[in-house]
A and B are shown apart, each in its own frame.
Chain A
């Protein structure tokens, strides 16, 4: 790194802290600051975002304001900036920083906030079918369901519409391919089909109802979402859960990560018509789910993490069954890795396919295996050091190729890391209480938790009576779906399932 780079980095970091000192801080926001800024500062931040630092963690609306969460990755610091917009208009962040475009379109659909200068003003979550528009703002008449896809013009281009109902057992979404022969010229995604209005249901919900909803945002990340929600509540109330609860939560989170990665590795190979890997990985995944059921009473460990702690304890039998599970996976998994690595016909499909460049991954703040396979070294467990990861030694596997193969390999390495973590957690698991009663009080909290697919952000405000006033849940997929459009460009249509599965973005987590 050159001296100029160093100076530039310091200047940018100084810039971020200047913004914090310049605005009006909200005292009840924890653990990171939230600052209400003026429009000039808002504009200055956009310039910084476009410049590459800080990273945009999320953008969400309220009836009379808009918030952005920013992360300074070098300083490992987060700040939430808020802009009041009583007239419902604010300067668009997406105008200068494309990752904000879809969140701004969503906030426009839900709250009626108008981003001035937004390059794409089409609706996003609102398909004109709700019977009203702006459901969380001042409700108005429904919009027209017509939707214009972006044009792709050229000689003998053809369009392939796919979905929302797909051929496999997967979630619904629409893909519009423009292809020249076999080559994809443009992919445009249209999502929002499984929008369930979760943020609307959250408003006014009790913490118990909120935890159930959070655990049902994205079924494959039920542990990670419940954890992010619980941590945001605990931050808002300023309570610290019992030590044993921290460790049991991490145990569940690592089991969830292993189960999902095993499922993904098999499923990606299956999309290259290599069903042997799929069958073998399916067996291992099932063993993880069964062990989770034995230990925590539910195969996906749903509703086990709540604000204040956890609902179930790990029995002695449970610990022994996890030790057996880890040993069995360590015995069986290497043969599958070898099979993957030594099958030329499979490598032929995965190597060099669906390449995502590092600068794009950085620009979008892509988390999880999508970012790490392209060289973006960010893992909330490491960067935010939430307990008990602050006391655990683990690596964050990072590759640089950015292709399907790299995304498989990051998963393979993470399975190994998670098995080590499970061992370490079982060794260090302290005795003690499982939960504490959380008080009913007002406050604002933010949590960033590493799910298997990347960092999940939950921001919430609790009212005086302890109910949820506003809760925003941001899935990592918000910043990965747009990158899939970029990664598929120039690949053949037949490789789309491979690319899509290697990204494995959540539809439900994104659509909310």
Chain B
């Protein structure tokens, strides 16, 4: 173990440089987020992941956000075990009818202010499962959604760009300007 630990001291980190926040995500958030709420949170967000019917593909790539390459915690983003500790619900999957109530109750259990991020094509519009008797559809059909990250599944770097937009000061300004004008 000592050898491994020592090696990681002298080797260059594998971590990717920070990507720029996604423009589309910034625009979507600019419309959705309130400035006051953003100020209260600062640059740190606690994320609760909810699989509402996913095939598990999105979960694999969300897991990858925690690996040494993407290292999501360096941005102040961390996954928490309870919705009661969360600022953000990261929801995957077409919402199945069997998971609808669990998703609604998780949303209610999350304290305000809170945001919902729909991850993956299925969460965005139900994907190839939309017409099933067992599926409600998109996440937005069940709880209000603030940010959508499409992909099947979205690559970790795409998710990182989207989530970074949640932390971006520019988004706050974008929200602030119309407020100041009013």
Contact = CB atoms under 8 A, between A and B. Distances in A.
Given A194-B98, A213-B128, A171 B56 contact: yes
Contacts of B55: 216-219, 222, 508
Interface in B1-58: 1, 3-5, 14, 49-58
A218 B134 contact: no
B79 A169 contact: yes
B59 A335 contact: no
Interface residues of B, number: 50
Interface in A178-234: 192-198, 200-201, 209, 212-213, 216-220, 222
Contacts of B128: 201, 209, 212-213, 216
A289 interface: yes
B128 to A, nearest CB: 6
Contacts of B129: 196-198, 201, 216
Given A127-B98, A165-B106, A283-B14, A172 B51 contact: yes
Nearest to B82: A167
A195 B96 contact: yes
B174 interface: no
B132 A201 contact: yes
Which residue, of A129, A165, A280, A339, has the highest number of chain B Cβ atoms within 10 A? A165
B161 interface: no
A194 to B, nearest CB: 5
Given A280-B4, A282-B68, A167 B81 contact: yes
B172 interface: no
B176 interface: no
B102 A300 contact: no
A289 B134 contact: no
Which residue, of A194, A280, A300, has the highest number of chain B Cβ atoms within 10 A? A194
Contacts of B153: 219, 300
Interface stretch (A12-20, A130-138, A366-374): A130-138
B69 A286 contact: yes
A201 B130 CA distance: 10
Interface in A296-311: 299-300, 302
B61 A197 contact: no
Given A130-B97, A132-B133, A169-B49, A219 B60 contact: yes
Given A167-B81, A286-B69, A263 B53 contact: no
Contacts of A108: none
A263 B64 CA distance: 10
B67 A130 contact: no
Interface string A501-512: 000001110000
A152 interface: no
A154 interface: no
Given A283-B14, A300-B153, A339 B57 contact: no
Contacts of B93: 194
B135 A196 contact: yes
A129 B14 contact: no
B100 interface: yes
A408 B135 CA distance: 36
A167 B155 CA distance: 23
B134 A197 contact: yes
B152 interface: yes
Contact of A282 (B49, B50, B67, B134): B67
A289 B63 contact: no
B1 A343 contact: yes
Given A169-B62, A279-B68, A282-B67, A130 B54 contact: no
A368 to B, nearest CB: 16
Interface string A343-357: 100000000000000
A196 B68 contact: no
Nearest to A225: B55
A343 B5 CA distance: 14
Interface in B139-182: 152-153, 155
Interface string A316-347: 00000000000000000001100100110000
A17 B27 CA distance: 67
Nearest to B122: A216
Contact of A135 (B51, B101, B134): B134
Contacts of A164: 99, 102
A509 B67 CA distance: 25
A441 interface: no
A282 B3 CA distance: 18
A222 B57 contact: yes
B133 A131 contact: yes
A192 B98 CA distance: 7
Given A171-B59, A196-B53, A286 B3 contact: no
Contacts of B79: 169
A195 B102 contact: no
Contacts of A219: 54-60, 153
A3 interface: no
B153 to A, nearest CB: 7
Contacts of A343: 1
B57 A169 contact: no
A130 B68 contact: no
A170 interface: yes
Interface in B84-114: 93-94, 96-102, 106
A198 B96 CA distance: 12
A195 B98 contact: yes
A129 B100 contact: yes
A471 B56 CA distance: 21
A339 B63 contact: no
A335 B3 contact: yes
A60 to B, nearest CB: 17
| List of 6 A-B pairs having minimum Cβ-Cβ separation, nearest first | A219-B57, A197-B134, A197-B132, A282-B67, A167-B81, A219-B56
Interface of A: 127, 129-132, 135, 164-165, 167-172, 192-198, 200-201, 209, 212-213, 216-220, 222, 263, 276, 279-280, 282-283, 285-286, 289, 299-300, 302, 335-336, 339, 342-343, 506-508
13 contacts: A129-B100, A131-B97, A165-B106, A171-B54, A194-B98, A196-B96, A196-B134, A201-B128, A201-B132, A219-B55, A279-B67, A285-B64, A336-B4
Given A216-B129, A219-B56, A343-B1, 9 more contacts: A135-B133, A192-B98, A209-B128, A222-B55, A285-B67, A286-B68, A302-B152, A335-B3, A508-B54
